[in-house]
Amino acid sequence: MKNIATYKNGNADIELFEDGTRTIQFEGDLKLDFPLNIDIRVSTACSLGFNPKTGKGTCEFCHESATTDGEECDYIALEAKLLGLPKGIELAIGGNKITRGLNDFLMWCVDHGYVCNLTVNQLHINGHTELMLRYFLTMGLINGLGISYRKGHELNIPEFFIEHPNVVLHVIAGIDDVDEIVSLPFKKVLVLGYKQFGFGRDYFNDNDELKQGLINWYWWVKKLIDTKDVVSFDNLALKQLNIRRFLTDANWDEFNQGEHSMYINAVDKTFSPSSRSSAKVDWNTTTIKDYFKVIEDEEKD
């Protein structure tokens, strides 16, 4: 397994490997100076988002409340905030739209030693976007690609992405069906918890089908785990589906590295503990290092 990054973060030695594995070695209590990974929103615009003219959107449950008339961030300002992060830190970027600005930003990140992962909607993988995603993966501008599955639409994803070892299918507990995900050809799956945030809050209310879907996931998620080569979960899904019940205490301690992350909305220029948090801080009032220390201290209290 090829090592792609090694760096010091607080009292921890971090190693990243080509297949996405991350190891953390430390003595005593873990004391990080920087997040292990940072989720970054670079655009509020999405062709599948809420359309103010029609009053509708493809992804009605979008917790980021993307719109068709949104805007892209100031990448120069974002780069200025990221400067000083240790080489090897992971950046998880939501790519609603592949633009020249995003391409240049990814190149800047590689030049500074950051490891980028990009998430796109499956309905965006066509034409220019497909070519650019192939380019990003082939040239190493991104180490991993997440493809957000959309139930009710033909999969229609090129074999290149399905067979690529660093492409992961993203699914949402409650929205997508476990049995359907089991039948899809992807070998790696990331299960996201359902976020009652943004448009997702209203979508959840009085939605009995969604609530039953979450119950189904709770009882049948083990079927997915047993079927795929790799099944991982975000922190919300770990809680909603109680994944710990399938692991020994030793395995839980080994596999669960905790959150140790933060969220940057580069369009609004704010920091938050996560993408589903309303506790926002103007990024001009602090630094990533100082803000991360605050949320880590709050997590311990």
Query: Are 128 and 146 a contacting pair, CB within 8 Å?
Result: no
Is the Cβ–Cβ distance between 295 and 35 less than 8 Å? no
Q: What are phi and psi of 237, to 5 degrees?
A: -65, -35
User: Tokens 């930003």, residue?
Assistant: 105
Could you tell me the two tokens for 211?
Answer: 């609530």
What are the percentages of helix, strand and coil residues in the chain, rounded to 5?
Answer: 35, 25, 40
85: number of CA atoms within 13 Å, CB side?
26
Residue 132 has what pLDDT? Answer: 96
**Distance separating alpha carbons of residues 118 and 198, to the nearest angstrom:** 21
Q: Which residues of the chain have pLDDT under 50?
A: none
| Residue 301 confidence (pLDDT) | 62
Please tell me the predicted confidence (pLDDT) of residue 172: 95
Q: What is the DSSP code (8-state) at residue 57?
A: -
Please, are residues 178 and 220 in contact by the beta-carbon 8 Å criterion? Answer: yes
Residue with the two structure tokens 């690529």? 164
Please tell me the total number of residues recorded for the chain in this structure.
301
> What is the 8-class DSSP label of residue 139?
T
Helices (H), 22-111: 75-82, 100-111
The pLDDT of residue 8 = 96
Q: How many CB atoms lie within 10 A of CB 175?
A: 21
Could you give the CA distance from residue 245 to residue 249 in angstroms, rounded to a whole number? 9
Residue 44 bridge partners (DSSP): none
Provide CB contacts within 8 A for 254, sequence distance 6+.
none
Task: Look at residue 190 in the predicted model and tell me its pLDDT.
Answer: 96
Is 253 strand, coil or helix? helix
pLDDT tens profile 63-73: 788 899 999 99
Q: How far apart are the first and last CA of the chain?
A: 38
- In sequence order, the β-bridge partners of residue 228 are none
Burial of 196 (0-12, 13-18, 19+ CB in 10 A): middle
Q: Quick one: pLDDT at residue 220?
A: 96
Q: How far apart are CA 279 and CA 273, in angstroms?
A: 7
For CA atoms 3, 236, 158, 220, give the dihedral sign.
positive
Model-wide pTM > 0.75:
yes
Residue 27, helix vs strand vs coil? coil
